[in-house]
Amino acid sequence: MKIYTTLPERLKPYFNVELKQYKQALNADQLHIAWEHLERAHILGQRYPFAHISVHWKMLKFGWKLGCRKEIWVQTRRLVSSGFESLFGSIPMGNPGGSNVSSLMSFPVDPHIRGIFAEAGVNH
């Protein structure tokens, strides 16, 4: 079993761009676009505990901002479990991380994100 730790250096810029675009969209009150960037950051970072937890924290704060009880509840639970899941590689690939999907479901990875993984030399 492979134990994952931190985001690979070659993947960090892509992850950070998604978080930057999330923040810009959030500040512009473009909530749908902001959420899409969080989902993409989740997919990019879900295999790495610190990145994974940080995205769920942002999703929790997003849910809090919207007053969405379901998102707050689900993200609180995922904050507890996501680090362990990432550490031991037991995460479903392509999962966008929101409360509208099961944390156990895999999803097809968007071709653009697959390209990012390939460009960064990350095997997913």
pLDDT along the chain (124 residues), means of 10: 80 98 98 97 93 95 96 93 78 88 88 93 80
Per the listing, tokens 């479903």 go with 92
Where does 46-99 have alpha helices with state H?
49-66, 69-87
Report the pLDDT value the prediction gives residue 39, as an integer from 0 to 100.
96
Q: At what angle do helices 12-27 and 49-66 cross, to 10 degrees?
A: 10
DSSP 110: P
Question: Which burial class, exposed, middle or buried, applies to 92 when counting CB atoms under 10 A from its CB (0-12, 13-18, 19+)?
Answer: middle
The 10 Å Cβ neighbour count of residue 46 is: 24
Report the pLDDT value the prediction gives residue 1, as an integer from 0 to 100.
57
- Token pair of 97 as six digits: 């991380």
The 10 Å Cβ neighbour count of residue 80 is: 10
Report the pLDDT value the prediction gives residue 8, as an integer from 0 to 100.
92
pTM to 2 decimal places: 0.92
Report the pLDDT value the prediction gives residue 87, as an integer from 0 to 100.
76
Whether residue 101 contacts residue 95, with contact meaning beta carbons closer than 8 Å, is answered with yes
Q: Where are the domains of the chain?
A: 12-118
Report the pLDDT value the prediction gives residue 10, as an integer from 0 to 100.
95
